[in-house]
Structure 1
Amino acid sequence: MYTKKIVSIIMATYNREAYISESLRSIQNQTYVNFECLIIDDGGDDNTAEVVAPFLEQDPRFQFLKRSDSYKKGLPGCRNYGIDLAKGNYIIFFDDDDIVHPQNLELCVLEISRNNVSFCRFVREVFRGDFKFNFDYSKTYNSFYIDKIDIEKILKNELPINSCAVMWKKECFDNNRFVEHLMYAEEWELYSRIISTGFRGISIEKCLFFGRKHAKSNTGEFYSNSPIRRASYAEAILLVFDNLVEHELLTKKILHYFIQLSLNFKEYKLFQRLLIRTPLSKFKKLRWYFFYFSLPLRLFAYGKWKIMKKTYF
């Protein structure tokens, strides 16, 4: 029976005394009870340990551990440490400031078990301020399969694979880990790498996770133009690109997308670094150079045309 499978929840934490208690309670309220929750502290200096202590005393499924010095400081290092400690058949990553739907583990384990797949993706929604605990407990939803033919949609975020919105079979991490020097887009890089190697999954159209939006989150810092987060995203793009080339998954559409994306990272010479990596002839590379340098003007003209169309037609 699928109910005998152990789920390893890995939660990296850093100075989250204000939010982590609510997150842990949502894990404690899971309808699927056969789990371990590894809380990996990244060296914070607030009262997170004191806030977590009651959970450790009351529930042996929760563990609070300091990140080993063998792993780099940061979210990827903490998660890799958790992966190496995990005893479960399945692995899922939860953040220390979010809320988990009570059926999260139950439905994911069920879907992976009965569909013979390696991961289960689900819908994630976001909230700001106080969370309203008004959960939908329905078990009726649509689903579809995901594999490497969907890599373009995944990379373009048309099919979002959020860090906390996927449960994985542990075998997905046998040869895959987070790149520890990445401080942004590390899950985008890793998850696309896993799927590109042939692991097949299922997506269920039900919201099972609620991400808290606030200025101190990694995403909030990225959109505040944090140099560290931006540099990490540029590096992640290069790693994803190299993986696509290696697995012969780089299509013209994907190349078009990455070159357009590189316009936002001129300070890292991202376009030039991408084109060097493409297995294209000199002539085809020259055509992409023309495309890149003419793109800002074309985008400007397209924007003006859309405004005129809306105004006069």
Structure 2
Amino acid sequence: MQEHSLVSIIIPTYNRAHLIGETLDSVLAQTYTNWECIVVDDGSFDSSYSIVKKFCEKDKRFKAFQRPGNSIKGANSCRNIGFDQSTGDYVIWFDSDDLMTPDHLEVKLEEIQKAQADFVIAQTQNFSENGFEAPYVYEQKPYGITAEDFILRRIHWYTYDVMLKRNVAGRIRWNENLQSWQDYNYFCKMLLVTTKGHYIPQVLTHRRLHRVSIQQQMTSSFSSFKSALIDVYWYTFQDIKHQISKHIKKEFTRNLMNLSFGLVKEYKIPPRIFQIASLVFRVFGFRGLLFYKLSLVSGACIRKGESLLEVAKSKN
């Protein structure tokens, strides 16, 4: 292992005064010591920023920043700010309520260098006040990692599972319009830069489960879940549409059609309905758009229309 390699750990935080100290203690406990930990506060109302500043006073490897008022609020904005302030050869995105195992950095750095990979993916284990759950084991395809598999959600992983090279991270930005599933958007873009990745069959992150989270609020009902998915699919499509195949574009469009149809059956107006209709026309033509609209009308009126939707999604 190259002991001189600097690892940048970038953590956004918001109102985590009761948790962030434990997270930063897990960083302090790392067996690999050449790191910088950049924490960007998103305008907390509690003492989160003061706690981080105390860690900075105790250890100069910690660096604290506050999101400027003219920046978009949210974790993604903070991540982009943190990366701009970082200088490490390798980057790890982490959250302010989760914990690193003591060998988190050491194992990832050793594996990424040994495999000569652009990124590595370790495992995560969820925990709560009730204890630890079984570690999540990611599906590995025999042919390796592809952008298409991730984009179409055949494979996935968590934000904090990944360590990536700086020259890869420097070619990607976090989409600041997204409030949930940000990692899906980010790693779709990463895999269009490189698929030279390596899995590590070892738990290196303990992910805290608790009731208060943006994603849990947004997925508290099927309708809010579908609306949030429409948002992430839409923004991701806009980010990568010039880099993906016609096949992936069709699958993206079909997903948006399915989600919007599901919402109208629940008597909800889908977000971005006019943009989706325009996309359907570009991808499936006039016939596809006609049957898509008919399926929406049928779904809204009699909660049926699946056969119309299938015609709309058929290859033209």
Q: Under TM normalisation by the shorter chain, which class is it?
A: 0.7 to 0.9
Whether 1:276 and 2:278 are equivalent positions in the alignment is yes
Match of residue 80 from structure 2: 80
Residue among 220, 228, 246 paired with 1:224: 220
Superposition deviation, residue 130 in structure 1: 6.3
Q: Report the alpha carbon displacement of residue 22 of structure 1 after superposing the two structures with TM.
A: 1.2
Q: Residue type matched to 2:47 in 1?
A: N
TM-score (norm: length of structure 2): 0.78
Question: 1:276/1:197 Cα in 2 relative to 1: closer, same or farther (>3 Å)?
Answer: farther
2:66 aligned with 1:66: yes
**CA deviation profile, 1:222-278 (whole Å, cap 9, x unmatched):** 222599987654332112223453223342555544433444555235566335335
Residue in 1 that maps onto 2:162: 166
Q: Does 1:259 align with 2:262?
A: no
Tell me what 1:306 maps to: none
Corresponding residue number in structure 1 for 2:122 = 122
Task: Confirm whether residue 212 of structure 1 aligns to residue 208 of structure 2.
Answer: yes
**Within 5 Å, which residues of 2 pair with 1:188-207?**
188-207=184-203
- Does structure 1 retain, via aligned residues, the 8 Å contact 2:277–2:289? no
Distance change (3 Å), C-alpha of 1:106 and 1:259 = farther
Offset of residue 104 of structure 1 = 1.6
Aligned to 1:2: 2
CA distances 1:198-217 after superposition (whole Å, capped 9, x unpaired) = 44222222221121111211
| CA contact 1:122–1:203 (8 Å) conserved in 2 | yes
Deviation at 1:43, TM superposition (A): 1.2
CA distance, structure 2, for counterparts of residue 37 and residue 226 of structure 1: 37
CA spacing shift, 1:66–1:226, aligned 2, 3 Å? farther
Moved more, 89-98 or 70-79: 70-79
- Normalised to the residue count of structure 1, the TM-score between the two structures is 0.78
Distance 1:275 1:37, change over 3 A: same
- Greater CA deviation, 194-203 or 248-257? 248-257
Instruction: Say whether the 8 Å CA contact 1:214–1:220 is kept in structure 2.
Output: no
Residues 36, 62 of structure 2: 8 Å contact kept: yes
Instruction: Return 5+ residue gaps in structure 1 as ranges.
Output: 136-141, 300-313
Looking at structure 1, the residues matched to 103 and 215 of structure 2 have their Cα atoms a distance apart, in angstroms, of 26
281-290 or 88-97, which deviates more: 281-290
Q: Secondary structure at the match of 2:292?
A: helix
More displaced stretch, 42-51 vs 71-80: 42-51
Q: How far does the alpha carbon of each residue in 1:167-202 deviate from its partner, in whole angstroms, 9 at most, with x for none?
A: 121122323211212212222112201212344222
Partner AA of 1:276 in structure 2: S
Q: 1:64 to 1:242 in 2, by over 3 A?
A: closer
Assess, with a 3 A threshold, how the Cα gap between structure 1 residues 253 and 32 changes in structure 2: closer, same or farther.
same
Counterpart AA for 1:289: Y
Q: 1:283–1:229: structure 2 CA closer, same or farther, 3 Å change rule?
A: closer
CA-CA distance at 1:290 after TM superposition: 8.4
**Identity value in percent:** 26
The structure 1 residue matched to 2:292, chosen from 267, 289, 293, is: 289
- How far did 1:285 drift? 2.2
Distance change in 2, residues 1:92/1:254 (3 Å): same
Are residues 1:32 and 2:32 paired?
yes
Question: How many residues align structurally?
Answer: 292
User: 1:91 maps to what in 2?
Assistant: 91
Contact preservation (8 Å) 2:295, 2:305? no
Q: How far does the alpha carbon of each residue in 1:63-119 deviate from its partner, in whole angstroms, 9 at most, with x for none?
A: 222123353221111111001000101111111111112222112212221222221
Q: Counterpart amino acid of 2:276?
A: L
Structure 2 CA distance for partners of 1:146 and 1:47, relative to 1, 3 Å: farther
Rate the CA distance shift 1:53–1:122 in 2: closer, same or farther, 3 A.
same
Q: Secondary structure at the match of 2:73?
A: coil
> In the superposition, relative to structure 1, how do residues 235 and 189 fare at CA in structure 2: closer, same or farther (>3 Å)?
same
Contact 1:127–1:211 (CA<8 Å) still a contact in 2?
yes
Q: RMSD of the TM alignment (CA)?
A: 3.5
- Do the aligned residues in 2 keep the contact of 1:152 with 1:254 (CA within 8 Å)? no
SS of residue in 2 equivalent to 1:88 = coil
